[in-house]
């Protein structure tokens, strides 16, 4: 028995060494596993979702920005409101006399877009209707070097007098109105002078003939939507 105990002791000791070694391996493996679990893989972060363009952005006057369709009429002071065609793009007015300004997308083949400016000069200001028609006509020159006679029509919108003006030729804007004053051939004007509650309002669209003609129906629709608050 005494001879077996040393053998047994050696066997037990060896077993303990093996167990200890295995335990060490197991403990080391467990530590590595815990480390991986506490530090998750650095996966690439998902991209931020794109802006939801299904909800139009509008400014303080109810006009949709960035060229998106307008769902609400524009109110520009002076007692008149109107609805802007969905394809027109709002721009910052080029002068303090402009209550609103829009870019009209160019027709295919035209070198630039058109522009529509809305003028309101204040109570009792702006001059009479005929003086403004003459002023617009004087900004156009025909091939003979004269000022072409504009086409003028009269009517009413929401019980208010409206005079529409059309002319074309080489256009030189008035320096009082702001913007580019370089003479431009092949231009057209669609204008309307609307009787407001306290003074006349002036809607003036100019640009390449084909572009302005492309937006004629939209211009007529805008003028037809003019009304008081």
8 Å CB contact between 72 and 116: no
Q: Which fold has domain 74-228?
A: Protein Transport Mog1p; Chain A (3.40.1000)
pLDDT digits (tens, 9 = 90+) for 93-131: 988 889 999 999 999 999 999 999 999 988 777 778 889
Q: For the chain, give every domain's residue range.
A: 1-38, 74-228
pLDDT of residue 81: 92
Flag whether pLDDT at 2 surpasses 80: no
Q: What is the pTM of this model?
A: 0.66
The 3-state DSSP class for residue 225 equals: helix
pLDDT of residue 198: 87
The residue whose two tokens read 């004087």 is 138
The Cα angle at residue 47 between residues 41 and 52, in degrees rounded to 5: 150
Q: Which residue has the higher pLDDT, 206 or 56?
A: 206
- 54 versus 121: the higher-pLDDT residue is 121
Given a contact cutoff of 8 angstroms between Cβ atoms, the answer to whether 122 and 220 are in contact is: no
| Average pLDDT value for residue range 132-161 | 94
Contact 68, 58 (CB under 8 A): no
Of residues 223 and 71, more confidence is placed in 223
């Amino acid at each position: 028995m005494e001879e077996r105990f040393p053998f047994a002791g050696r066997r037990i000791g060896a077993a303990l060494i093996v167990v200890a070694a295995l335990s060490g391996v197991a403990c080391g493996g467990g530590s590595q596993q815990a480390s991986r679990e506490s530090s998750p893989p650095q996966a690439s972060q998902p991209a931020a979702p794109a802006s939801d363009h299904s909800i139009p952005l509008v400014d303080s006057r109810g006009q949709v920005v960035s060229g998106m369709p307008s769902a609400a009429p524009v109110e520009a002071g002076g007692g008149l409101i109107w609805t802007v065609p969905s394809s027109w793009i709002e721009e910052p007015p080029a002068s303090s006399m402009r209550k609103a300004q829009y870019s009209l997308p160019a027709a295919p083949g035209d070198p630039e877009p058109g522009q529509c400016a809305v003028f309101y000069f204040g109570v009792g200001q702006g001059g009479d209707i005929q003086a403004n028609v003459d002023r617009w006509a004087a900004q156009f020159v025909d091939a003979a070097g004269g000022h072409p006679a504009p086409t003028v029509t009269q009517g009413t919108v929401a019980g208010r007098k409206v005079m529409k003006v059309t002319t074309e030729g080489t256009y030189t804007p008035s320096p009082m109105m702001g913007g580019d004053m370089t003479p431009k051939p092949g231009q057209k004007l669609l204008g309307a002078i609307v009787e407001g509650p306290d003074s006349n309002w002036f809607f003036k669209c100019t640009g390449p003939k084909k572009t302005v003609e492309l937006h004629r129906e939209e211009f007529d629709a805008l003028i037809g939507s003019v009304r008081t608050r």
